[in-house]
Structure 1
């Protein structure tokens, strides 16, 4: 049932937000010249997939978790996109493709070894990664791997249709600030 909601809502989102996606893409061309950011992330079963986002950092930023990146790496457009969470919109493509869910544990990088170990212990990789979830609305980011894995497990264990929509609504209405940047 959740997969059906994911597909329908993501498809509708892509259609409804297509003007915004186009505007952000065009403005991004002037910001960095490369408005789309594609990065290998850990998906269900620890299989790699290409996460799609709008670029929020300069092109020369090293590939690390957001909490390890320097604030000076964020472009002016990137700051706005992060604050409004518009940088996440292209992930609707990942949801339509079945690589992600709207609600699930945020997909981590392959170089986040502590987080991978914590998530492996709790079976987090049995679930599809998501755009938002319990950890995001509680402002728990990847800088606290054990806590994040624990909250991810709690979300997976208690995920219902009601909670699915609750997490989406809380995210859209501004709960959670995303991954922290130093």
Structure 2
């Protein structure tokens, strides 16, 4: 009977002591973790530096960040873009032409060739109007409108913006459509024109 009473006493003591031991262990682990994090260099306050913070190298990004960060597009030469245009024409890939001419306009802009840029933008707008896609057509019309506006030709700017607005609507890009409509209103352009593409 004495052994049974001793066993019951030990069991009730264990039931009482086990939660206390677990709690004590958790407190000990948390205090160690806090000490380690306080001693780590990342937790130390940094001295303000005169240099701006640098972007993390691409290899340091998480896989989710990799998916959100598009790689920089290589800049192609005007000659390379002209070759692509010739290839598209030979193959009959007419929907690619608007975007290619838009790239050609950017290439001419990098070289400071304003007239060649404008000719490429007009080709981009024309092919976009005829063969699409509407987004490429809209981008070309918008660039033509901005160029006309910069040159002080508000009538042409309004016409080009109107066509860009319509093309963005066709492309389903409501945000761009609204932005161009706002730009037109700010410059006093009529927003109820019905234009034919030219």
Q: TM-score range by the shorter chain?
A: under 0.3
TM-score by length of 1: 0.24
TM-score by length of 2: 0.22
Rg larger in 1 or in 2? 2
**Which has the bigger relative contact order, CA under 8 A and spacing at least 6?**
1
Q: Which has the higher helix share?
A: 2
